[in-house]
């Protein structure tokens, strides 16, 4: 009878017709799936997946037969085109599961618009699914009736990284920034908003953009701000790197491999980066930066060195260096 609880737990997972289930899947370790998630995937008639190949592999890994199920692709580029068929199946009583490649769907992953439309319809609104139609045209599909949306919780890179960071011990609040903007200017503006936060901020970082993101974070949040770089969470080569942003820029100057989650510590109480604007005038500072660039020094390195030597903020040097570097590239 030692394993009886497994069967009982599976039987008690009530998967109802005409419902949409948001199923959390593992973020790396296949052991991190719930019994309820397994029963839901086993019982559903339709599985909407960010990547159908990944979804099929997931079903196979847990011994869930695909026979009798439709595994359909559902992502940002086909949401509007796919919606009518999905809504038709729901109206006919189908049980639909929505999964992403890893973690909870609809959070920094496909499905958010579909869920929003269904919740809007439940609240008496129009319930419209927006998405890209053929050849980039924007389409909108109305949800004809209220469709119950049921979350089936699962693994979360956000909560795993936050829990292991040690930054939330004194405060219960935190902020999730999702993927920071890809363009440097927009990313710097976003980071600037977080500079004075009194709680930790969690963000996702593409591995090939990690070095640039850390440099921008050091410029906007301060080099002394603590950060955790959580890489390949729950996987074989999991890494939880801890240090200051200055140290992180050195450690990950060449980027990193695998999925990366960043946790920035809250701003120290009563501290702020001094302006330092009166120590060195703009002309003298520009001359220092130009000499450093002529010598082949990297922007991140020269920003740290000159800021320390001249008694100015790193962000001031960093912004100037980026501007001068861009001018050089345009003239080349």
Distance, in Å, from the CA atom of 30 to the CA atom of 45, rounded to the nearest integer, reads 22
All structural domains of the chain with their residue ranges: 4-152, 157-264, 282-331
Burial class from Cβ neighbours inside 10 Å (0-12, 13-18, 19+) for residue 218 reads: buried
b/e for 249-262, b at 16 or more Cβ within 10 A? Answer: beebeebbeebbbb
Q: Is 157-264 in the same CATH topology as 4-152?
A: no
Considering the four listed CATH numbers 1.20.1290.10, 3.40.1010.10, 3.30.420.10, 3.40.30.120, the one that applies to the domain covering 4-152 is 3.40.1010.10
What are the per-10-residue average pLDDT scores of the chain (332 residues)? Answer: 59 82 95 93 93 94 91 85 85 93 85 77 56 42 71 94 85 87 90 87 94 93 94 95 95 91 85 47 84 87 82 82 87 75
What pLDDT is attached to residue 131?
52
What pLDDT is attached to residue 14?
83
CB 174 within 8 A of CB 199: yes
CB 304 within 8 A of CB 297: no
Distance, in Å, from the CA atom of 76 to the CA atom of 82, rounded to the nearest integer, reads 10
Considering the four listed CATH numbers 3.30.950.10, 3.40.190.10, 3.90.950.10, 3.40.50.300, the one that applies to the domain covering 157-264 is 3.30.950.10
Angle among Cα 274, 314, 239 to the nearest 5 degrees reads: 115
pTM, full prediction: 0.74
Distance, in Å, from the CA atom of 68 to the CA atom of 54, rounded to the nearest integer, reads 18
Distance, in Å, from the CA atom of 62 to the CA atom of 4, rounded to the nearest integer, reads 19
What pLDDT is attached to residue 136?
35
What pLDDT is attached to residue 135?
36
Distance, in Å, from the CA atom of 86 to the CA atom of 327, rounded to the nearest integer, reads 52
What pLDDT is attached to residue 277?
45
């Amino acid at each position: 009878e030692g394993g009886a609880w497994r069967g009982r737990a599976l039987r008690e997972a009530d998967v109802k017709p005409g419902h949409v289930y948001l199923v959390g899947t593992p973020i790396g370790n296949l052991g991190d799936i719930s019994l309820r998630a397994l029963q839901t995937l086993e019982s559903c008639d339709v599985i909407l997946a960010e990547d159908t190949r990944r979804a099929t592999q997931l079903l196979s890994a847990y011994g869930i037969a695909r026979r009798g199920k439709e595994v359909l692709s559902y992502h940002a580029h086909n949401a509007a085109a796919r919606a009518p068929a999905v809504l038709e199946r729901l109206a006919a009583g189908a049980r639909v599961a929505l999964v992403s490649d890893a973690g909870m769907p609809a959070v920094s992953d496909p499905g958010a618009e579909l869920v929003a439309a269904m919740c809007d319809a439940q609240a008496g609104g129009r319930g419209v699914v927006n998405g890209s139609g053929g050849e980039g045209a924007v389409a909108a599909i109305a949800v004809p009736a209220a469709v119950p949306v049921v979350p089936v919780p699962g693994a979360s890179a956000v909560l795993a990284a936050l829990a292991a960071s040690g930054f939330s011990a004194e405060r219960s609040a935190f902020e999730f920034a999702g993927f920071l903007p890809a363009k440097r200017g927009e990313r710097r503006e976003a980071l600037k908003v977080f500079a004075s936060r009194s709680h930790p901020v969690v963000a996702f970082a593409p591995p090939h953009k990690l070095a640039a993101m850390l440099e921008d974070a050091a410029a906007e949040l301060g080099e002394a701000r603590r950060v955790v770089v959580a890489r390949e969470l729950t996987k074989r080569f999991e890494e939880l790197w801890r240090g200051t942003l200055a140290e992180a820029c050195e450690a990950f100057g060449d980027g990193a491999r695998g999925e990366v989650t960043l946790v920035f510590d809250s701003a120290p109480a009563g501290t702020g980066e001094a302006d330092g604007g009166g120590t060195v005038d703009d002309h003298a500072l520009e001359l220092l930066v130009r000499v450093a660039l002529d010598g082949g020094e990297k922007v991140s390195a020269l920003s740290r060195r000159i800021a320390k030597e001249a008694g100015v903020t790193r962000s001031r040097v960093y912004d100037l260096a980026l501007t001068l570097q861009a001018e050089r590239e345009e003239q080349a």
